[in-house]
Amino acid sequence: MAGGAVSNSTYTTSKDTGAKPGNYLFPLILVTSLFFLWGLAYGLLDVLNKHFQEVLSITTKRSTLLQGAYFGAYFLMALPAGMFMNKFGYKKGIILGLLLYATGAFLFFPAAGALSFDFFLLALFILACGLACLETAANPYVTVLGDPATSEQRLNLSQCFNGLGSFLGPIIGGKLFFGSGTGDLTTVKLTYIVIGIVVLLIAGFFYRTPLPEIKEDEQEREQVMADTRPLSAHRHFVLGVIAQFFYVAAQVGVGALFINYVTAYWHGITTENASYLLSVGLGLFMGGRFVGTALMRKIAPNKLLAIYALINVALSAFVMTGDGAPAVYALIAIFFFMSIMFPTIFALGVKDLGVHTKRGASFQVMSIVGGASVPYLMGIVTEWQSLAISYGIPTFCFVVVFLYGWKGYKRV
């Protein structure tokens, strides 16, 4: 969703897996499809937000409960998913995630028939619980499916498909939901039935395909840090969790009301075309990862994080003016500068945690819950003041990210 963070752990494959070394191409394709699937789900989310406002006649504030259900599921499911996979293995965890994903997708059909927004929230919550399982498992799987020397290349390649899914989501949603001209939920039902069927097929492939079990490297298990302080005593970690909370809040807030903003302040533009502009923004987000990775060869990650956050503070402040097309362009540009933030904060926050690294990473994932509340707060500000002023909330969030990249990342 927010951008796959690279695991710091080292993994080895079990010898009794049924998968022969060198025959990992098909398993790799399957695992990479997971990145695309959760990217697509996120890309469709913000389009659904606007579509439900129009068809179900709900307020902007109420529609943001979609983000609450989606990211709240990540918060609630992160630890149970990890516990399940520790007991039963990552392959079964992936299959569980796919089954939950498909169940949530199929529930869109009765929810649309009942014209019930609350039913949609339940369906989306179940779907996102499945995504939480998939995100927990996918990164380690990619690292072991092939030569360890090229594990980072495989992971970056897989993450590109996450961006591709996010990019295509608004295009698909804009064409089917807004471009059909029906003004009802028929296309929503059909879209999610197709998604559910595809997800079930992929689950079947996973069930029948031998995959390596993931085991921690013995060398990592034996690693002991001289620093025996509790996790909460690591200042850079605690501030990293806070920064991650506010970053995800900003990212989700920027996207959740994007279509509303464009149609409100760029006079004459349709919701369909606004959804295509959202896709442009997500395309910049994807491209920004490549640019940011290249820049980090010359610029320290914390410095680049601070620079990008400061730029987004300025862009968000301009968005608050509601100055027509130029403000929309600024809103689109924000996506580019958000691209590196999640993985960079993640890496800085868990750095040098030693034996606490895995638990620290779990808290970083749980901080995604920041995306559950801020869109609703923006909806309240929209009703109280204006939609443009509501973007003051992401502006503040980017200030927090800037402070972390400037000084908060330091390990003391």
CATH number of residue 197's parent domain = 1.20.1250.20
Q: Identify the domain containing residue 394 by its residue range.
A: 231-407
Q: Is position 289 within any domain?
A: yes
Q: 141 or 64: which carries more pLDDT confidence?
A: 64
Residue 330 belongs to some domain of the structure: yes
Domain for residue 264, yes or no? yes
**Are 237 and 351 found together in one domain?**
yes
Is 140 within the bounds of a domain? yes
pLDDT band at 2 (very low <50, low <70, confident <90, very high): low
CA distance 364 to 385: 33
- Note whether 124 and 67 are within 8 A (CB): no
Among 167, 183, 213, give the residue marking a domain's end.
213
Residues 112 and 261 in one domain: no
Is 270 a member of any domain?
Answer: yes
Query: Do 155 and 261 belong together in one domain?
Result: no
193/307 same-domain check: no
Please give the Cα distance from 31 to 97 (Å, whole number): 12
Q: Assess whether 138 and 284 both reside in one domain.
A: no
Same domain (yes/no): 118, 261: no
* pLDDT exceeds 70 at position 153: no
Q: Dihedrals φ, ψ of 351, to 5°?
A: -65, 135
Are residues 194 and 251 part of one domain? Answer: no
Q: Predicted confidence band at 222 (pLDDT cuts at 50, 70, 90)?
A: very low
Q: What is the mean pLDDT of residues 224-252?
A: 80
What mean pLDDT is predicted for residues 162-169? 81
| 124 φ, ψ (degrees, to nearest 5) | -70, -35
Please tell me the predicted confidence (pLDDT) of residue 342.
83
Read off the pLDDT of each residue in 341-370 and give the average, rounded to a whole number: 75
Q: Which two tokens stand for residue 158?
A: 């897989």
Looking at residue 226, what is its pLDDT? 47
pLDDT at residue 118 tops 90: yes
Point out the least confidently predicted range of 10-24, 200-214, 221-235.
10-24
pLDDT score of 82? 75
d(CA 61, CA 71): 16
Local confidence band at 144 (pLDDT 50, 70, 90 cut-offs): low
pLDDT surpassing 90 at residue 129: yes
Count Cβ atoms below 10 Å from residue 388 Cβ, excluding itself.
19
How many helices (H) and strands (E) the chain has is answered by 19, 2
153: amino acid identity, one letter: Q
Structure tokens at 366: 């749980």
Q: One-letter amino acid identity for 56?
A: L
Q: Are 198 and 293 found together in one domain?
A: no
Residue 7 located in a structural domain: no
The lowest-confidence range among 215-224, 350-359, 369-378 is 215-224
* CA separation for the pair 15, 205 (Å, rounded): 21
Contacts of 222 (CB under 8 A, 6+ apart): none
Q: pLDDT tens across 72-114, in order?
A: 888 888 778 877 877 887 788 899 999 999 999 999 999 988 9
86 in any annotated domain: yes
Higher pLDDT, 375 or 337: 337
> Quick check: 200 pLDDT over 80?
yes
Distance, CA of 47 to CA of 360 (rounded, Å): 33
Are 173 and 245 found together in one domain? no
Supply φ then ψ for residue 8, to 5 degrees.
-85, -10
Judge contact between 247 and 337, C-beta under 8 A. no
Q: What is the mean pLDDT of residues 168-178?
A: 80
Residue pLDDT, tens place only, 257-285:
898 899 999 988 888 889 889 889 988 98
Task: Establish if 248 belongs to a structural domain.
Answer: yes
Q: Which of 213, 239, 263 is the last residue of a domain?
A: 213
- The domain boundary, picked from 213, 242, 257, lies at 213
Residues 319 and 182 both lie in one domain: no
Write down the pLDDT at residue 242.
Answer: 92
Quick one: CA dihedral 80, 83, 88, 92, positive or negative? Answer: positive
pLDDT digits (tens, 9 = 90+) for 389-410: 999 999 999 999 999 999 887 8
Do 37 and 164 reside in the same domain of the chain? yes
Residues 203, 251 within the same domain:
no
Rounded to the nearest integer, the mean pLDDT of the chain is 81
Q: How confident is the model at residue 15 (pLDDT cuts 50, 70, 90)?
A: very low
pLDDT value at 6 more than 50: no
Structural domain count, the chain: 2
Q: DSSP label at 91?
A: H
What is the number of residues in the chain? Answer: 412
Q: Identify the bridge partners of residue 214 per DSSP, sorted by sequence position.
A: 13
Cβ atoms of 344 and 304 closer than 8 Å: yes
Rg (CA), the chain: 21
- In angstroms, the CA 412 to CA 300 distance is 18
